[in-house]
Amino acid sequence: MQLLLIRHAESENNAKPVHARVCDPSITARGRLQADCLGKWMSGLAIDQLITSPFLRTLETTRFVLQHAHTAPRRYPIAVWHDVFENGGCYHGHHEKNFRGAEGLGREAIHSFFRDISDQLPDREPPPLTVDSEIQSDGWWGGRDPESPDQMRARSRSVIERFENTFPQRPSHEPRSLSTDPVVVLIAHADFLREMLSLMLAGTVAMESVGPIPNTSVTSLQWSTTGWKLDSLNSVTHLPPRLVTGHQAMLS
């Protein structure tokens, strides 16, 4: 498997001070330009599966990927996984003393989001969509308390195992040029991606020396019988310099 880890486009929270942030923001005007550049770049890839978190900012980033597919979006079958959300989950408040759980988008709202994309592309078949059964009508987070750092680390480990169990390994002796590896894309969040990478690359890459993860940056890894191998980290070659954001601070 070739796995592309992509941070969502700039969200309204990324562009605001902490006290002004909301529980589930949209992407900004600049974020839409970033996502547009990402979608154009991804249109040249033969993707087998695209996975996104249920947060609005990742879904909106995914919208541009689908809009730029040169062929019918069946090229990009979509899965919304319940367990690839950002550190803490979906919640109101800006300090642990006033945190309170929010609902997050519900199952029907997510299906409606993708139906709207299909309505905007009437000449194309709608993408096959799978939404995890854990995402119910009352919202994917359901008003729970914020997740702890230890819980996020355990969840990151379980998501890595989910990838490893869902998609096949490439034999380590097989040349990549002859490989039939699936190409899998995950559009998720900075802190969560950082945690995943710290576990995948433990002993080979010191994540504290890597720096922040820019919006729509692309990290490429290979999953083979020898484990995880990093091909490229935080690439933003699809963006003009004026659109590179999130590279000066770690923001969700």
Could you read off the pLDDT of 193-232 as tens digits, one per residue?
999 999 999 988 887 777 899 999 999 999 988 899 999 9
pLDDT value, residue 245 = 96
Q: How far is it, in rounded angstroms, from Cα 224 to Cα 215?
A: 28
Q: Is residue 251 part of a domain?
A: no
- Choice among 5-14, 171-180, 186-195 with the minimum mean pLDDT: 171-180
Q: Is residue 250 part of a domain?
A: no
Range 152-174 average pLDDT? 88
Q: Is residue 204 part of a domain?
A: yes
Q: Domain total for the chain?
A: 1
Q: Is residue 248 part of a domain?
A: no
pLDDT value, residue 103 = 96
Range 109-116 average pLDDT? 95
- Specify which of 31-40, 120-129, 169-178 reaches the highest per-range mean pLDDT: 31-40
| Cα→Cα distances 222→11, 90, 185, 189, 251, Å | 29, 31, 12, 20, 26
CATH at 121: 3.40.50.1240
Does position 252 have pLDDT exceeding 60, yes or no?
no
Does position 163 have pLDDT exceeding 60, yes or no?
yes
Range 64-80 average pLDDT? 79
Q: How far is it, in rounded angstroms, from Cα 169 to Cα 223?
A: 6
Q: Which domain holds residue 212?
A: 2-243
Contact 115, 91 (CB under 8 A): no
pLDDT value, residue 71 = 62
Q: Is residue 30 part of a domain?
A: yes
Contact 72, 102 (CB under 8 A): no
Q: Is residue 172 part of a domain?
A: yes
Place 73 in a pLDDT band, splitting at 50, 70 and 90: low
Range 17-31 average pLDDT? 90
Q: How far is it, in rounded angstroms, from Cα 26 to Cα 15?
A: 11
**C-alpha angle with apex 228: 5 to 154, nearest 5 degrees?**
70
Torsion angle of the four alpha carbons 235, 239, 241, 244, in this order, in degrees rounded to the nearest 10: -70
